[in-house]
Copies of this chain bind each other. A is one copy, B any other.
Amino acid sequence: MAFDKPMIRDSEGFDWVVEQHSQFFMIGYRVKKHLFSGQSDFQKVDVYETEGHGKLLMNDNLAMVSDRDEYIYHEMMAHIPLFTHPHPKRVLVIGGGDGGTAREVLRHTSVESVRMVEIDKMVVDASKEFIPVTASCLSDERITVDINDAVKFVAETNEKFDVVMVDSTDPIGPATPLFGIDFYKNIYKILEDDGVVVSQGESPFYEQPMQVKLMSIVSELFPITSLYNFTNLTYPGGLWSFTFASKKFHPLKDFNRERVLESGIDFRYYNEDLHSACFALPSFMRNSLRSYIKL
Contacts and interface: CB of A to CB of B under 8 A. Distances in A.
Given A25-B29, A25-B53, A267 B238 contact: no
Contact of A30 (B16, B25, B27, B69): B25
Interface string A23-64: 111111110000000000000000000111100000000000
Contact of A8 (B8, B24, B53, B229): B8
Q: Tell me the number of copies of this protein.
A: 2
A50 B24 contact: yes
A273 B277 CA distance: 8
Interface stretch (A105-113, A163-171, A176-184, A282-290): A282-290
Interface in A256-295: 267-271, 273-274, 276-284, 286
A233 B12 CA distance: 28
A157 interface: no
Contact of A4 (B1, B11, B51, B280): B11
A271 B290 CA distance: 14
A26 B19 CA distance: 10
A273 B280 CA distance: 6
A72 B285 CA distance: 13
Contact of A238 (B12, B30, B231, B273): B231
A25 B28 contact: yes
A51 B24 contact: yes
A136 interface: no
Nearest to A25: B52
A237 interface: yes
Nearest to A50: B24
A8 B268 CA distance: 37
A232 interface: yes
A10 interface: yes
A10 B3 contact: yes
A18 B23 CA distance: 14
Interface of A: 1-5, 8, 10-12, 14, 16, 18, 22-30, 50-53, 69, 72, 205, 229, 231-233, 237-239, 267-271, 273-274, 276-284, 286
